[in-house]
């Protein structure tokens, strides 16, 4: 009898990783990094505590690091099989995994230096492991294991296992996985929602409804709330731009992949509609630049509206000036700009990356604005600011929060409660077992109750990390 083990995203939002041990084969669906919170490092160290060499393959739902970011570690620990993903996901990972590895290397170096400083200052024992979770070389090597699979195409990665990707509408290349296991008792269908998009959102298509499953694993990031409408989001962003830019800068922390491209779409659209003055936008993230190029290459997978807007933009480059900065020098030069700029940088939760420099220069100025457009996980700097911290730590210094802080929900890459319920209502028969993952504990638990009450699904479970269940 096959077994499903929840290695991550269990009563929390990051670290998506599910192990399936079937009759003849063992494999993973997603292999994500834990992010945010003090114990993320420990969880990342411990997450792949099994013989990686025995895994036959990995299926990835999408490129986000909390779904893919432990792949280089898996490969470094002996996994040699193929990793199946959609073509855009493969391309995005080509930029994202080396970038993630680079961050791991920098973090490790920083921790080592700090430990040495502490020893010299008579504090601490200097006992820091100092090894990164994985290296750029590990990441480059594991990219060779990626295999692109088209949406809708049935694929058989091993005897007795078939799967198919359906568009999840979350980010470019994101997929729902339909998986069939031939077991002694018959064939079982398992569906992994991956991350589901919000229907009607700019740029991305709507998530594909799935009609049937025996076992369902569904995300619940925003299972406890409704997003404001897109119209409200446009109003809010237009207001921030027109009131802030004459005096200060607008800083937008954003995931390099997905969110940055959406924000660029909304900003250009506001200018096109005459609701914002002409804009100067810095995209200060080499990864976001690569992701924007990859997104343009897959225009056929995007919605009609974004293709029209892209066309308009090529004819109005003076109205929407988008400056992609590459080198650290170019990035630092932005610090001299005190007003009139929109600065988009990663990471989206302000845990690392160039956004921290822009926060250091703008957060303490009451004429500036910081706009959050994505989920801020517990324990992250982004969450502290959103929760109203008046001072935060940046580069070892206290920085007062004087800029106005805006949280704009309508752009979320994740479906809200209504969208998740709508997608679940697409099942003609309730699955025999439904596992609610990828949500903070209270959110996942509340959403599970809602699915029982409203949709009458039997056996709706919020699994704990490490819990395993029989698939029958």
* Region of 193-201, 206-214, 218-226, 396-404 interacting with Zn ion (CB under 5 A): 193-201
Q: What angle do CA 424, 430, 436 make, to 5 degrees?
A: 55
Q: How far is the CB of 367 from Zn ion (least distance, A)?
A: 34
Asked whether 264 and 296 are in contact (CB, 8 A), the reply is: no
* Region of 101-109, 189-197, 200-208, 439-447 interacting with Zn ion (CB under 5 A): 189-197
DSSP three-state, residue 391: strand
> 195 vs 416, which CB is nearer to Zn ion?
195
Torsion (CA) 360, 363, 366, 367 in degrees, nearest 10: 80
Question: Exposure string (b/e) for 188-208, b if CB count within 10 Å is 16 or more?
Answer: bbbbbbbbbbbbebbbbebbb
Pairing of strands 433-437, 460-461: parallel
Q: How far is the CB of 314 from Zn ion (least distance, A)?
A: 29
Residue in the structure block whose two tokens are 């502290």: 384
Show the binding pattern over residues 148-187: x = contacts Zn ion (CB under 5 A), - = does not: ----------------------------------------
> 403 vs 413, which CB is nearer to Zn ion?
413
Evaluated on CA atoms 140, 142, 144, 150, the torsion sign reads negative
**Distances in Å between the alpha carbon of 65 and those of 89, 313, 358, 392?**
11, 30, 23, 25
Q: How far is the CB of 170 from Zn ion (least distance, A)?
A: 6
Q: How far is the CB of 67 from Zn ion (least distance, A)?
A: 6
Under rule CB under 5 A, residue 91 binds Zn ion:
no
> 43 vs 64, which CB is nearer to Zn ion?
64
Residue nearest to Zn ion (CB): 64
Beta partners for 399? 392
Pairing of strands 279-283, 341-345: parallel
Q: How far is the CB of 103 from Zn ion (least distance, A)?
A: 17
Q: List, in sequence order, every beta strand (DSSP E) within 169-286.
A: 175-183, 186-192, 215-219, 250-253, 279-283
Q: How far is the CB of 153 from Zn ion (least distance, A)?
A: 22
Q: What is the DSSP string of 24-53?
A: S-EEEEEEPPP-SSTTHHHHHHHTT-S-GG
- Extract the tokens encoding 280: 């100067």
Under rule CB under 5 A, residue 195 binds Zn ion:
yes
Q: How far is the CB of 221 from Zn ion (least distance, A)?
A: 8
> 98 vs 197, which CB is nearer to Zn ion?
197
> 65 vs 75, which CB is nearer to Zn ion?
65
Name which of residues 56 to 75 contact Zn ion (CB under 5 A).
64
Residue in the structure block whose two tokens are 């982004």: 382
Asked whether 423 and 459 are in contact (CB, 8 A), the reply is: no
Residues near 187 by Cβ (< 8 Å), separated by ≥ 6? 180, 181
> 171 vs 250, which CB is nearer to Zn ion?
171
End-to-end CA separation in angstroms for the chain:
7
Asked whether 421 and 454 are in contact (CB, 8 A), the reply is: yes
> 157 vs 374, which CB is nearer to Zn ion?
374
> 375 vs 427, which CB is nearer to Zn ion?
375
> 234 vs 255, which CB is nearer to Zn ion?
255
DSSP three-state, residue 424: helix
Under rule CB under 5 A, residue 354 binds Zn ion:
no
Q: How far is the CB of 219 from Zn ion (least distance, A)?
A: 8
> 64 vs 358, which CB is nearer to Zn ion?
64
> 64 vs 290, which CB is nearer to Zn ion?
64
Helix axis angle, 230-244 relative to 259-272, nearest 10°?
A: 70
CA 132 to chain centroid:
21
Q: How far is the CB of 299 from Zn ion (least distance, A)?
A: 21
DSSP three-state, residue 94: helix
Q: How far is the CB of 418 from Zn ion (least distance, A)?
A: 19
> 35 vs 362, which CB is nearer to Zn ion?
35
User: Is the peptide bond prior to 347 cis by the omega test (within 30 degrees of 0)?
Assistant: yes
Name which of residues 423 to 452 contact Zn ion (CB under 5 A).
none
225: left (phi over 0), alpha (psi -120 to 50) or beta: beta
Q: How far is the CB of 64 from Zn ion (least distance, A)?
A: 3
Q: How far is the CB of 62 from Zn ion (least distance, A)?
A: 6
The number of residues that bind Zn ion (CB under 5 A) is 2
Interacting residues toward Zn ion by CB under 5 A: 64, 195
């Amino acid at each position: 009898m096959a077994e499903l083990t929840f290695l991550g995203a269990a009563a929390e939002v990051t670290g998506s990783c599910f192990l399936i041990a079937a009759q003849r084969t063992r494999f993973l669906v997603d292999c994500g990094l834990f992010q945010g919170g003090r114990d993320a490092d420990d969880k990342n160290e411990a997450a792949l505590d099994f013989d990686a060499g025995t895994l036959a393959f990995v299926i990835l739902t999408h490129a986000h690091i909390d779904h893919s970011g432990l792949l280089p570690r898996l490969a470094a620990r002996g996994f040699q099989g193929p990793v199946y993903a959609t073509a855009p996901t493969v391309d995005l990972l080509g930029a994202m995994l080396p970038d993630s590895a680079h961050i791991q290397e920098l973090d490790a170096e920083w921790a080592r230096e700090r430990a040495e400083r502490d020893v010299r200052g008579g504090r601490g024992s200097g006992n820091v492991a100092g090894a990164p979770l994985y290296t750029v070389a590990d990441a480059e090597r594991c990219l060779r294991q990626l295999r692109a699979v088209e949406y809708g195409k049935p694929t058989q990665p091993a005897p007795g296992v078939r799967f198919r990707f359906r568009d999840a509408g979350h980010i470019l290349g994101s997929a729902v996985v339909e998986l069939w296991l031939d077991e002694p008792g018959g064939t079982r269908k398992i569906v992994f929602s991956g991350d589901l998009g919000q229907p009607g959102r700019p740029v991305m298509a709507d998530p594909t409804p799935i009609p049937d499953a025996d076992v369902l694993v569904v995300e619940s990031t925003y299972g406890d709330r409704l997003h404001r409408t897109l119209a409200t989001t446009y109003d809010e962003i237009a207001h921030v731009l027109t009131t802030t830019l004459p005096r200060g800068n607008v800083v937008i922390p954003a995931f390099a992949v997905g969110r940055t491209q959406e924000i660029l779409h909304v900003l250009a659209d506001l200018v096109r509609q005459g609701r914002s003055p002409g804009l100067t936008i810095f995209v200060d993230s080499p990864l976001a630049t690569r992701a924007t190029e990859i997104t343009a290459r897959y225009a056929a997978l995007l919605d009609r509206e974004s293709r029209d807007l892209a066309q308009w933009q090529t004819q109005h480059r003076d109205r929407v000036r988008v400056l992609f900065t590459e080198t650290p020098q170019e990035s630092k030069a932005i610090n001299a700009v005190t007003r009139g700029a929109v600065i988009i940088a990663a990471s989206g939760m302000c845990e690392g990356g160039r956004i921290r420099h822009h926060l250091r220069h703008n957060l303490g100025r009451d004429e500036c604005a910081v706009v959050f457009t994505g989920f801020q996980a517990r324990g992250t700097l982004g969450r502290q600011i959103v929760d109203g911290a008046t001072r935060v730590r940046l580069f070892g210094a206290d920085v007062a929060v004087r800029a106005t802080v805006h949280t704009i929900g309508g752009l979320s890459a994740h479906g809200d409660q209504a969208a998740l319920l709508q997608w679940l209502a697409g099942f003609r028969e309730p699955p025999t077992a439904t596992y609610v993952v990828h949500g903070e504990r209270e959110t996942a638990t509340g959403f599970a109750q809602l699915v029982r009450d409203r949709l009458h699904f039997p056996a709706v479970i919020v699994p704990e990390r490490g819990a395993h269940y029989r698939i029958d």
